[in-house]
Amino acid sequence: MITYRELVAAATVGLAQRPLSVIELPEPAGEYGTVLAADPAVGLLDAVALLDAAQRAGRLATPISLPSPAPTDTRAELSPRAGRIVAELLGSGSADVLADLLRAAAHAGLRAASPLLPALLSAAAADSALRDAVSATLGERGRWLAALAPEWLRVVDSGVMPAAEDAWETGRFAERRSWLAQLRRRDPDAARTLLAEGWARETGDDRAELITVLAGGLSAADESFLEAALDDRRAEVRRRAVHLLRVLPGSAYQARARARASEVLRVEGRRIVVTLPGELDDAGRRDGLDARPRTPRAGEKTWLLRQIIAAAPLELWAEILGGDPRRIVALPIADDFTSDVHAGWRRAAVRQRNVEWARALLDVSDHGPSDPGLAALLPHTERQARVVAFLQRAAMELVVELQSCPPPWGRQLGEAVIDFLGREVRREGSVPVGVVLATVARALPVDYEAQLRKLADDAPVTTSWPRALRRAAYLVELRRRFLEELR
């Protein structure tokens, strides 16, 4: 077998000095030996050219195995028209609108068309706000495709991603997490035991993700493992262990949180009296408390006070302070600690998803219009009624309320928003145009498109209103056309 180096050496010094008969070239050039010229010198140059082309093209040193074909999808695809709207939204920077429409498609039992899958997976890999919606419309082929690229695997919901039998030992991380989640649903104790056995061998990032699998089927049997995780060297692991222990009824963590909270608030007469906590000890740090304020104006003691209140089960306050949430929240608080105590309660209500406490705190005039986390706990119709009530108030309050009221909006709220926008356009008010209309474009009933365009035509051309209103109308139009395709 003649090598490229031998051919070059012969061509350099000449065949007279180094005779060489070109009879056999290495693969893949050897397959073209019949095209070599009969003249020895020309044939030599032909051989050099063939080997050079072969080297530039490259070849696989070892064969590779192709993945198994994608499984058959039984769900119907989105129509071509709906697919074109998805593609248009992918390039428009309207992730919220796209996510809403993909969720609507999934609810209708439809999946994204195959040509859209790479773009959807790439968009969702880059924007976590899209991941759940994209995952819901991938179908079997989309999940198969996601498994072929590490950056796409994070998009796939581990609860539905198929996992091979040996995925726990040999799979990539997303496959291992999926396998563990499926085992957790079948046998919670076996999943926890398996996780504990290999816990020390997992990386910090993997431990932080794998521990979240225990949220499914969480029970008292998981407590000792989670308590041990409070001592993990990785902060994110500790934080997620705290989150799980916080929602585990009757846990030792809850008992410690109750004991701390019982020492900081009490009733004297008809008011709440605050006792500021002492220095944060190691036990408190282990339970996730942090002595360093995250806001410049907060003192260390008041910051710790907020955390202690937020960590306690809300039912504790009925035992200590007496009454239902409305009565408790209405009690005066001594020494100007109202904002700190209410901040702790608000955080606890959001964490514990307590609607009764959310209503009570929202009714307090100095906090009501400024906490979207609380408003998001209310039933949908109640949230819309709040927004209608706030439409006559300050612009920034309205923005927060609008953002806490996800689609779909009812006609009463739609009419109220159109009236509000008309007033703002005429008086060139201080409402943040882009923020408000981004929410409006996502949630306004789709038959209000013409009214938005009319507002744009009537708006002063020297303001940002015309362009923003037309953009909102365009997105509402896309929503209308897409939803028509789902019928």
Quick one: pLDDT band at residue 114, thresholds 50, 70, 90?
A: very high
pLDDT tens-digit map of 42-53:
888 888 888 778
Residues 6+ apart with CB under 8 A from 365: none
pLDDT of 394 above 60: no
Of 115, 110, 119, 116, the residue nearest 139 (C-alpha): 110
Q: 369 pLDDT band (50/70/90 cuts)? A: very low
pLDDT-based confidence at 393, cuts 50/70/90?
Answer: low
Residue 25 has pLDDT above 80, yes or no: no
- Which pLDDT score, from 0 to 100, does residue 21 have? 72
pLDDT of residue 201 exceeding 70, the answer is: yes
Please report how the helices 411-427 and 380-390 are oriented relative to each other, as an axis angle in degrees rounded to 10. Answer: 20
Contact status, residue 401 vs residue 390, Cβ threshold 8 Å? yes
Residue 362 pLDDT > 80: yes
pLDDT over threshold 80, residue 441:
yes
H or E stretch covering 96: helix 95-107
Report the C-alpha gap between 16 and 193 in whole angstroms.
78
Q: How far, in Å, are 83, 110, 123, 142, 268 from residue 482 at the CA level? A: 9, 12, 19, 21, 60
d(CA 43, CA 376): 80
pLDDT of residue 163: 63
What is the pLDDT averaged over residues 453-459? 92
Nearest residue to 188 (alpha-carbon basis) of 209, 161, 215: 215
| Rg over CA atoms, the chain | 32
- Burial class (CB within 10 angstroms; exposed 0-12, middle 13-18, buried 19+) of 326: middle
Nearest to 290 by CA among 299, 303, 274: 303
Higher pLDDT, 338 or 13: 338
Omega before residue 26 within 30° of 0, cis: no
Q: Average pLDDT of the chain?
A: 87
Using the 8-state DSSP alphabet, how is residue 3 labeled? -
**251 or 93, higher pLDDT:** 251
Nearest to 455 by CA among 478, 476, 481: 476
> E strands along 88-231, which residues?
110-111
Most confident of 228-237, 366-375, 452-461: 228-237
Q: Which two tokens stand for residue 102?
A: 């993909």
How big is the chain, counted in residues?
Answer: 487
Average pLDDT over residues 62-84: 85
Q: What is the pLDDT of residue 356?
A: 95
Give, in degrees to the nearest 5, the angle at Cα 381 between 376 and 385. 90
Distance, CA of 356 to CA of 334 (rounded, Å):
24
- What whole-number distance in Å separates Cα of residue 169 and Cα of residue 176? 8
Give the contacts of 201 (CB within 8 A, at least 6 positions apart).
Answer: none
CA distance 256 to 348: 16
Q: Is 12 exposed, middle or buried (0-12, 13-18, 19+ CB in 10 A)?
A: exposed
- Helix (H) or strand (E) segment spanning residue 271: strand 271-274
Top-ranked range on mean pLDDT: pick from 171-175, 212-216, 435-439: 212-216
Helix (H) or strand (E) holding 273, with range, is strand 271-274
Tokens for 121? 């997976």
Distance from C-alpha of 121 to C-alpha of 174, rounded to nearest angstrom: 15
CA distance 125 to 129: 10
| Contact predicate 343/370, CB 8 Å | no
Give the residue carrying structure tokens 């799979």. 171
Helices (H), 187-274: 188-197, 204-210, 223-229, 235-246, 252-262
Triad 230, 236, 241: Cα angle to 5°: 40
Does position 395 have pLDDT exceeding 60, yes or no?
no
pLDDT at 27: 65
Structure token digits, residue 171: 């799979």
Average pLDDT over residues 358-370: 71
Provide mean pLDDT across the span 290-297.
79
Q: How many CA atoms lie within 13 A of 210 on its CB side?
A: 28
Q: How confident is the model at residue 162 (pLDDT cuts 50, 70, 90)?
A: low
Dist CA 311 CA 288 (whole Å) = 9
Give the integer Cα–Cα distance in Å for 145 and 70. Answer: 8
State the pLDDT confidence band at 159, using cuts at 50, 70 and 90.
very low
Instruction: Give the pLDDT of residue 32.
Output: 67
Please tell me the distance from the alpha carbon of residue 418 to that of residue 448, in angstroms, as a whole number: 8
What are 396-436's pLDDT values in tens digits? 567 777 877 888 899 999 998 998 888 888 776 667 788 88
- In order of 389, 444, 472, the CA distances from 426 in angstroms are 21, 20, 18
**274: enclosing H helix or E strand:** strand 271-274
Give the domain ranges of the chain: 4-57, 76-153, 167-248, 271-378, 379-487
Query: Taking the model in full, what pTM does it have?
Result: 0.70
What tokens appear for 51 in the block? 């080997």
